[in-house]
Amino acid sequence: MIENIKKYPTATAVVIALYYAVGIIGLSMEKTRPLFQSLIPFTLLFSLYFLWLFHEKPGNRLYLGWLIIFLLGFFIEVLGVNTGIIFGHYTYGKSLGFKIMETPIMIGVNWLLLVYSCWALIGLFTSNRWLGALAGGVLMVLYDFALEPVAIRLDMWNWHLSSIPVQNYIAWFLLSILFFLIFDLFIKKNGNKIAPALFIIHFMFFVILNIVFYFS
């Protein structure tokens, strides 16, 4: 069955997009929002599974690259949330699930998912590692602009100040570049047929929720 799924990346991307569309509807309504918030960690794992499934010939290099980004993403967030020196002062809510050192395990998965899918999307346009890393950093910051208001509304995390600090976006840009350069050592940009679509789906998910929450 798995091999059959891998033959249809476009159809799989459509199914994933429909899954996220249902999430938009569920999160838009007050009565169903708590249920769909509780599903956020499972949705991240669901998305990561499909990234793994469609990666061409996954092996030790892929797993090592993923492990490095997961651990770096998680422990940078541990440092960030407990000191405020990286992103600014913020606190994680309940929506991302189980925490260690005030930091959800899923935040490492989130970094891995975003960096990998964004890196694959950038790979459609350039094979230059430095240009790709810079372009990816810009794209990740644009993504974060869409993410932040929704994340706050859904209790993923909350900032201690009334506004999101510029420091946060600078950190996203620099860390994304670092992560992309690490990925370039382990993973081909064009080695996954579904990853670019998944990044676009994620981006549009938060853009649409921003619009919904603005008018609600």
d(CA 212, CA 28): 7
Is 37 in a helix, a strand, or coil? helix
DSSP state of 102: T
d(CA 129, CA 135): 10
Q: How does pLDDT run across 24-40, given as a tens digit for each residue?
A: 999 999 999 999 999 99
Q: How does pLDDT run across 146-167, given as a tens digit for each residue?
A: 999 999 999 999 999 878 999 9
CA–centroid distance for 148 within its chain: 12
Q: Which residues contact 129 (CB under 8 A, 6 or more apart)?
A: 180, 181, 184
Task: Indicate the domain borders of the chain.
Answer: 2-215
Backbone angles phi, psi at 99, to 5 degrees: -115, 150
pLDDT band at 2 (very low <50, low <70, confident <90, very high): low
Q: How does pLDDT run across 94-130, given as a tens digit for each residue?
A: 999 999 999 999 999 999 999 999 999 999 999 899 9
